[in-house]
Chains A and B, each alone.
Chain A
Amino acid sequence: MQVLKRKTLALVGNHAVAYAVKQSKPQVLAVFPITPQTTMLEKISEYIASEELNAELIKVESEHSALASIYGAALAGARVFTATSSQGLLYMTEMIYWAGGQRVPMVAAVATRAIAEPWSIWDDHQDFLSKRDAIWIQMMAENVQEAYDMTIQAFRISEDERVILPVMMGFDGFILTHTMERIEVLEDGEVDNFLPPRQFNLIDFSDPIGVGPIATPEDYIKYRYEAMKAMERAKGVIEEVMNEYERISGRKQNGLVECYKCEDAKYVFVTMGAWSGDCKVAVDRLRDAGVEAGLLKIRVFRPFPKEKIEEYLRSMKGVIVLDRAYSYGSGGILANEIKATLYGYRVPVYSVIAGIGGKDVRPRHFQKVIEDLINDNLEEERWLL
């Protein structure tokens, strides 16, 4: 690994992602304001006005048009970007599926936020996870550094010819978007080398085609089968891209999942996003108290890294899945995925629902849950109200 004195900046999450976008050089962007994403749009507007980023920013009248317009630009060969949150992500949902179904490379940053009604501007993962079947790669950052890194990686993964899928990068609203952290950034030239110019254009006047016509029942299922295979291939590509990024940046990237003190653990938390940091604090405290605790952080939710999860969790005495989102009438969304992955293994999986609508969660809450588990006092599903 290179040992370099890296350029460091103090940036809030939204500005870190905007900085990564500037370095990734998209040609067309379309973003509609929504809390807590808006300061990213403002920063991108400044970059374009000052010509630090030479790109077209389409100031659309809605999120639906934001995704529709970058979809058009992507078909015509541009590298494209959008960002949104909560209601905005829901409003663009039709086009989210449209772009996923057509398998168009693009990157969307999602500042995760609870969904109304009732109104809430605070963080949970319901918006992000509601897009889990839209044929998008979904990654989630733990901190501002990861949000910066993943944004650059997202363009590369999305445009990889073995993948050709849109990528969504989730990072927790306010908790990351508005928190200033010291981060290391790549030099512009390093990003240029990592992200070669995009080779993709479906608009060819010498051989005109129709993009997205009616598919007969014979054909439609084949398109979807190909999408399924692309998603499976993406697992390897994501690991490969992150390893390359690790070499360039000199910082560990962890691939699809990050295992924190879980190799010799008996009890493991499973998390996604910013509260993984709080969970690490809880794990450290539990270790100090002699509890063999660990954490498995899911960095990539789609494609779901079943193989890795199985490898890490199959012999645990207890697994506690922490969910910031819920499938009503079913269960914690991440918990359901983990249970399905561990089908056939005799591993007890517990679901904890917390932090919904921004409800504060602290390391001591995680500690309490694992203590209850050890004392045989934890229900299969618990809501931290």
Chain B
Amino acid sequence: MSSLVTPKRIPKFYRGNAACPGCPIPKELDVLLEVLGNKTVLVVPASCTTIIMGDTSGMPSTVPVIHSAFGAPAAIASGIVRALRTRGDKDVIVTVWAGDGSTGDIGFASLSGAAERNEDILYVCYDNEAYMNTGIQRSSLTPKGAWTTTTPEGKREYKKPLPFIIAEHKVPYVATASIAYIYDYEAKVRKAKQIRGFRYLHLLSPCPPGWRFDSKLTIDTAKLAVETGVWPLFEIENGEFRLSSVSKTLLDKKNRKPVAEYLKLQGRFKQLTEEEIKGIQEEIDEMWEEIKKLVKK
């Protein structure tokens, strides 16, 4: 019986980069580039990844990186792909790698424009649910109830439902993913790679300093987000909604862990009262009732 041997693998995204301890971004990028291959261009707007990508002396990426202004990545990617395609280069995957602030706030118009034009790009939003690089300020994708430096009393508004908004643009592919379910994530990147037109992947990306949890608990936190139903894993392919991975088992409420388990792991929710936690639980249950309708379709 041979022992399990971990094959020697050269990472596609080098270690020793400037990510914080416990940050999932380098691993998320490593997986992404492993599946997409070398003929990938990354377009990176102002975000944590701007820092992680190094400086004028070098970068951890093994593929070309185009840095972008905060609100411009979908437009820059549109230009790159049009130029490559007019040259006859059909294989290159032009990929935006953007945070939630760029995606849902400042770059939202540009993202919507690119989706409406069905540009041949893969847009990945790594969602750490606030402006983390500038020091934890709320974004439109910060969840209700979360503490940030600009919502010291907890955010009062809802998280913008970005995957559904993008799906309403009738693009060929929209999916959610999580670093805790790596095969599901890989499979979605693989599928997105084969599709032409605008593809959107939304990764929930737990942030230890921003969410106030111990840096060894990144995967546990990501996993609980899925198991409690806070972050459903799904894909919408040509308008057809499909739950994936463990989320397929969560339609029945009794299979979902209580949201309190997810919230209590994170310091950003510590000011929530039991009443408020109950309210959040009800909202999640309501969301799953909506998902049920989508699955039935």
Please pick, from B51, B67, B72, B86, the residue contacting A64 in the complex, using a CB distance under 8 A.
B72
Q: Looking across the interface, which residue of chain A has its beta carbon closest to that of B76?
A: A72
A-B contact count (CB 8 A): 152
Is the beta-carbon distance between B66 and A28 smaller than 8 angstroms?
no
Known pairs A28-B79, A70-B79, A76-B79; A210 contacts B53 (CB<8 A): yes
Considering the complex, which residues of chain B in the window 62-100 have a beta carbon less than 8 Å from any beta carbon of chain A? 62-69, 71-72, 74-80, 82-87, 92
**Which of A54-62, A270-278, A307-315 is found at the contact surface with chain B?**
A54-62
Q: Looking across the interface, which residue of chain B has its beta carbon closest to that of A77?
A: B83
Is the beta-carbon distance between A64 and B110 smaller than 8 angstroms?
yes
The CA of A94 and the CA of B70, in the complex, are separated in Å by 10
Is the beta-carbon distance between B56 and A219 smaller than 8 angstroms?
yes
Is the beta-carbon distance between A60 and B113 smaller than 8 angstroms?
yes
B191 at the interface (CB under 8 A from A): no
Please pick, from B71, B79, B117, the residue contacting A72 in the complex, using a CB distance under 8 A.
B79
Is the beta-carbon distance between A208 and B80 smaller than 8 angstroms?
no
**Which of B36-44, B228-236, B269-277 is found at the contact surface with chain A?**
B36-44
Q: Provide the residues of chain B in CB contact with A62, threshold 8 Å.
A: 109-110, 113
Is the beta-carbon distance between A65 and B83 smaller than 8 angstroms?
no
Q: How far is the CB of B97 from chain A (nearest CB, A)?
A: 12
Is the beta-carbon distance between B67 and A213 smaller than 8 angstroms?
yes
Size band of the A side of the interface?
A: 35 or more
Is the beta-carbon distance between B110 and A210 smaller than 8 angstroms?
no
Is the beta-carbon distance between B116 and A61 smaller than 8 angstroms?
yes
The CA of A77 and the CA of B66, in the complex, are separated in Å by 13
The CA of A70 and the CA of B41, in the complex, are separated in Å by 16
Among B62, B64, B68, B77, chain A packs the most CB atoms within 10 A around the CB of B64
The CA of A210 and the CA of B61, in the complex, are separated in Å by 8
The CA of A239 and the CA of B158, in the complex, are separated in Å by 59
Give B100-126 as 1s and 0s: 1 = Cβ < 8 Å from A's Cβ atoms: 000000000110110011000000000
Among A71, A77, A203, chain B packs the most CB atoms within 10 A around the CB of A203
The CA of A322 and the CA of B232, in the complex, are separated in Å by 65
Is the beta-carbon distance between B86 and A78 smaller than 8 angstroms?
yes
Q: Provide the residues of chain A in CB contact with B71, threshold 8 Å.
A: 64, 94
B152 at the interface (CB under 8 A from A): no
The CA of A202 and the CA of B79, in the complex, are separated in Å by 13
Q: How far is the CB of A95 from chain B (nearest CB, A)?
A: 6
B59 at the interface (CB under 8 A from A): yes
Is the beta-carbon distance between A74 and B110 smaller than 8 angstroms?
no
Is the beta-carbon distance between A30 and B69 smaller than 8 angstroms?
no
A116 at the interface (CB under 8 A from B): no
Q: How far is the CB of A41 from chain B (nearest CB, A)?
A: 16
A216 at the interface (CB under 8 A from B): yes
Is the beta-carbon distance between A205 and B113 smaller than 8 angstroms?
no
A interface residues with partner B (beta carbon < 8 Å): 27-28, 30, 55-56, 58-62, 64-66, 68-78, 80, 94-95, 98, 202-205, 208-216, 219
B interface residues with partner A (beta carbon < 8 Å): 38-39, 41, 43, 50-51, 53-57, 59, 61-69, 71-72, 74-80, 82-87, 92, 109-110, 112-113, 116-117
A-B contacts besides A64-B71, A69-B78, 14 pairs, CB < 8 Å = A27-B86, A27-B87, A28-B82, A28-B86, A55-B86, A68-B69, A69-B79, A69-B82, A203-B41, A205-B63, A210-B61, A211-B65, A212-B66, A214-B56
22 A-B residue pairings within 8 Å (CB atoms): A27-B86, A60-B75, A61-B112, A62-B110, A68-B69, A68-B76, A68-B79, A72-B66, A73-B79, A75-B80, A76-B83, A77-B87, A78-B82, A203-B66, A204-B64, A208-B65, A210-B59, A213-B65, A213-B67, A214-B51, A214-B56, A215-B56
Which 6 residue pairs of A and B lie closest in terms of their CB atoms, listed nearest first? Answer: A72-B79, A61-B113, A69-B79, A73-B79, A68-B75, A65-B75
